[in-house]
Structure 1
């Protein structure tokens, strides 16, 4: 067992926690110790290392950049599902899209960002919601940007193929319309894939896109950040949103005491106010 092979000493845990914080903004408390031990134990075995001190030296050394991405991928939690927190997609259909069809009628342009998209279920859910709504988007230029820190899950998301069990949370009419079965797996069809661009992005680093976005989904991401990092991130989101644009966060997140640039307009749904 990995747990019996490697000991994670306090000094090494502090070094690893500092690296995660500085490179990904993620706070690793002591209660995450067993999680980190298990995840990184696999990396030690793959690299033929015998202890965490060797791994820390590798990350801090001249050639550490190559392993740093594997390290971040290993400690990043990716838990998601299709149509998770369904009230957000109901709000998108009933409130946001009708509003955009009116406010953007001259440009006929719609831009949505799924930040921290994990393995892609969220952006595909957004795409299916847009394409199946009561309002026709024919003639509109609609694009969804989907980004994540973890390069492995981004590659998985871009393929658009999922185990059939994961697709069970897609409502049956949408599953029939937007997916095809392939030997026990479900593949997203071209209509949904064509709306989405997947890209690797570290939210703490520079953002290459210029915006503005009409809607940003950032759900169950900032819970891993400390308060100063959250304040900087939400301020950047506000800058990236168009005036009156929407920000949608996760069920356990709120912006109280974090920013006054976004006001609550629905259940974990905010709108830029300044």
Structure 2
């Protein structure tokens, strides 16, 4: 038996052509780019998948995920290779803008009977969406009576399930102000859980940003932070255009600290702060169909 054949998936790195095949599958499905330098990352994240399937080499695994019977495993592969880094109130300057500039007029409109929608795109395990929800609750204690909802979407079904549960390790609250911890969290065994009214404010949905979106109504605020950075430039440009089309007039778009919309010359978006954009006012009628 050769040395290679004796190696376990934990020890065996994908060959360059195997890494290229895995990268192509991921890119075609999601727009996410992984390079040859990511071999160790691919190995560490997929070795568990190979073990669970009883496979000892990447060639067999690639053949499986590209077959008709490998659809579910392809989803599992995408989940494994998707980076999920998040925390409550990450990039706090966005939440300051949300509190002082974006939310007050939207809440006033909601109290006047208008429909207000926000979207956390690439929401991971829900900490971003719940941070937004806490800011809404702080600004409008009567939020449950308003037509105001948050959509939280992610490509990873495991992250969607975690967001729906709203259960987190106590250490996750390190970035949450103490008064908010008291108001919006309760002990649940060894974990903490977000308050039920805030969970009811959010709809969690599995969504691949690279594919067709089912939503028809426009959003007043979209958060998509530290997601687009993993896409190639063409995919990034397409996504910025799609977000712009999904925004209501004067809607807000918040992006990640390393992300920028490269060319605003052909866009109706204008800079409105640090990694923050806003759609110019339009004369078109606001779309009112619901996404849930």
TM-score (norm 1): 0.95
1:195-206 to 2 correspondences below 5 Å: 195-206=201-212
> Deviations 1:153-175 (Å, cap 9, x if unpaired)?
11111100001111221111011
* Aligned 8 A contact 2:110 2:146 in 1: no
Is 1:177 equivalent to 2:217 in the alignment?
A: no
* Aligned 8 A contact 2:9 2:57 in 1: no
Distance in 2 between residues matched to 1:78 and 1:34, nearest whole Å? 17
Distance in 1 between residues matched to 2:194 and 2:222, nearest whole Å? 22
SS of residue in 2 equivalent to 1:111:
strand
> Deviations 1:210-259 (Å, cap 9, x if unpaired)?
12100000000000001110111111111111011000001111112266
* Aligned 8 A contact 2:22 2:62 in 1: yes
Structure 2 CA distance for partners of 1:4 and 1:172, relative to 1, 3 Å: closer
SS of residue in 1 equivalent to 2:68:
coil
Distance in 2 between residues matched to 1:85 and 1:7, nearest whole Å? 35
Q: Which residue of structure 1 aligns with residue 274 of structure 2?
A: 267
Q: Alignment partner for residue 73 of structure 2, among 45, 64, 67?
A: 67
Cα RMSD after superposing both structures? 1.8
* Aligned 8 A contact 1:49 1:55 in 2: yes
1:139-150 to 2 correspondences below 5 Å: 139-150=145-156
Q: Alignment partner for residue 81 of structure 1, among 73, 83, 87?
A: 87
Q: Which residue of structure 1 aligns with residue 28 of structure 2?
A: 22
Structure 2 CA distance for partners of 1:192 and 1:101, relative to 1, 3 Å: closer
SS of residue in 2 equivalent to 1:247:
strand
Of the structure 1 ranges 231-240 and 113-122, higher mean CA displacement relative to structure 2 is found in: 231-240
Q: In the TM superposition, what is the alpha-carbon distance from 1:140 to its structure 2 partner?
A: 1.9
SS of residue in 2 equivalent to 1:63:
helix
SS of residue in 1 equivalent to 2:64:
helix
1:111-190 to 2 correspondences below 5 Å: 111-133=117-139, 137=143, 139-190=145-196
Structure 2: gaps of 5 or more residues = 1-6, 283-292
TM-score (norm 2): 0.89
* Aligned 8 A contact 1:263 1:272 in 2: yes
Q: Which residue of structure 2 aligns with residue 11 of structure 1?
A: 17
> Deviations 1:53-97 (Å, cap 9, x if unpaired)?
000110111212121110000000000001111111111110001
* Aligned 8 A contact 1:2 1:42 in 2: no
Distance in 2 between residues matched to 1:138 and 1:189, nearest whole Å? 13
Structure 2 CA distance for partners of 1:149 and 1:115, relative to 1, 3 Å: same
